[in-house]
Structure 1
Amino acid sequence: MTEAAQIEAIERATLAAVAPDEVLEIEGWLVGLDPGSIRRAASAVPLRHDLSADPAVIDQIEAAYAERGLTAAFRIADGPGLEGVRAELSRRGYGFEQPTLVKTSATAAITAVTDRPPADIAERPDDAWAAVFLGEGFDPIDGAYRVKALSRAPGGRFGMVRDGDKTIAVGCGSFGHGWVSFHGMRTDLSRRGEGLAGRVLAGLANEALARGIDRAFLQVEEKNAPARALYRRAGFEQAWRYFYWSKPS
């Protein structure tokens, strides 16, 4: 897969996994239209990293958000091929924040991240899976929305580590466009540091290998050092970095 094809496949797979209310394609852009708190589901992203800045296209994207009563937002990689896009957004009064890394790995490498039993895998999330998102240390409104969005992603699988009748770590794997992607990784606040997230990754990676999928990706905020350390152990390497662009409220 060429680098350009890889970028497009990852962006399409990302939007499929986070399941916005609506997705439009506008002149080389994938536009997620959603009122919820998942920023990847509520922003426009270029399908190439060498896309020129066309003010008329940016106008169309902004209009699509405005027509639905939503605030326009963009998710832009910081490589040189999108310099013009970033300049055009700056000219319109957008600022950028929340540096986030897109990281890729060979699926087989992820299964070796733990020597403990991998997570159990389910076709649908149950109440105990959802409860991890609503527990101490998490925003309950954001958590409820994420559970709803991930639950409606087509073909997703849900990893969980249990301790007795309590679920203590969860994650979601989405399969599409030749990739498995990982989303919604959460561990009970009282059980962090026990390697549970690695077991979730390993379980979902095994599910991907059973489907013949040998490539994986995920997205992690640059400031999240503990998660980045785990993902390095699972063989993930940085593909690119992006920022969210929005206007001050």
Structure 2
Amino acid sequence: MTGAAHVETIERATLAAVAPEEVLEIDGWLVGLDPGSIRRAASAVPLRHDLPADPAVLDQIEAAYVQRGLKPAFRVADDPGLEAVRAELARRGYAFEQPTLVKTAAAGAIAAVTDRPTAEIADRPDDAWAAVFLGEGFDPVDGAYRVKALSRAPGGRFGMVRDGGRTVAVGCGSFGHGWVSFHGMRTDLSRRGEGLAGRVLAGLANEALARGVDRAFLQVEEKNTPARALYRRAGFAQAWRYFYWSKPA
């Protein structure tokens, strides 16, 4: 499902979903310019996994960040075709961290991940949806920014599982470039392990199928083993892995 031809559409859909304040396109790179805490929205990503390391292009990208008072950052797949790019970043003093997996699946498989009632779907997030991001166990500043960014992304749909009038699990599905992508998956700390996230995924996948969209992707930190286990059950397979590159403080 995710050969080289899909890299560009996935990256464009990712930036559309996390809605940076500004996006530039510089010679094969998509450059997210944003002061917030969503790293995908605040880093430059290659649109191909066989991109040469052009120092002049990297200079332009760095300058775009500096001109806006932002710290230059990149997210680069560890595919062999980007080895020269990674070497050039290392030469410039960048270090890499936070291995993250891009995973893809068919929406039909995701919809079958649970046999319980699926999440309610809304056009806009309400206060109860946002409150899950601000609850115990989450960084309230980061949570508030993520709610703001996901809310302004065009075409987003918002899934929620409620129990007794209280919202206990949420997520966002964003539609674009032929994909549905999943973002902002959160479950109330006291309710984890109950299969609620699967109900959110299934509800958003059903929304995708109703729109005739069967290609889905998400991104998950490699260390997040509980989420990865759920995504495996939902049919997700790894497309590639990337790291964030930045200069140490």
How far apart, CA to CA, are the structure 1 residues paired with 2:181 and 2:5? 16
SS at match of 1:49: coil
Aligned to 2:145: 145
1:4, CA displacement in angstroms?
Answer: 2.4
Q: Please, what is the CA RMSD of the aligned residues?
A: 0.7
Query: Structure 1 residues 232, 2: CA separation in 2 closer, same or farther (over 3 Å shift)?
Result: closer
Matches within 5 A, 1:181-196: 181-196=181-196
Letter in 1 for 2:140: P
How far apart, CA to CA, are the structure 1 residues paired with 2:6 and 2:207? 21
Letter in 1 for 2:170: V
How far apart, CA to CA, are the structure 2 residues paired with 1:164 and 1:57? 54
Aligned to 1:18: 18
Aligned to 2:58: 58
- Count of aligned positions: 249
Aligned to 2:36: 36
5+ residue gaps, structure 2: none
Matches within 5 A, 1:106-185: 106-185=106-185
CA-to-aligned-CA distance 1:194-215 (integer Å, 9 cap, x gap): 0000000000000000000011
Letter in 1 for 2:125: P
SS at match of 1:13: helix
Task: Return the TM-score normalized by structure 1.
Answer: 0.99
How far apart, CA to CA, are the structure 1 residues paired with 2:153 and 2:26? 22
Task: Return the TM-score normalized by structure 2.
Answer: 0.99
How far apart, CA to CA, are the structure 1 residues paired with 2:103 and 2:95? 24
1:2, CA displacement in angstroms?
Answer: 7.2
Q: Which runs of 4 or more aligned residues in structure 1 lie more than 3 Å from their structure 2 counterparts after TM superposition?
A: none
How far apart, CA to CA, are the structure 2 residues paired with 1:4 and 1:101? 16
- Indicate the percent of aligned positions where both proteins have the same amino acid: 87
1:246, CA displacement in angstroms?
Answer: 0.1
Letter in 1 for 2:169: A
Residues 1:6 and 2:43 are matched in the alignment: no
Query: Structure 1 residues 227, 137: CA separation in 2 closer, same or farther (over 3 Å shift)?
Result: same
Letter in 2 for 1:199: R
1:165, CA displacement in angstroms?
Answer: 1.4
Matches within 5 A, 1:86-101: 86-101=86-101
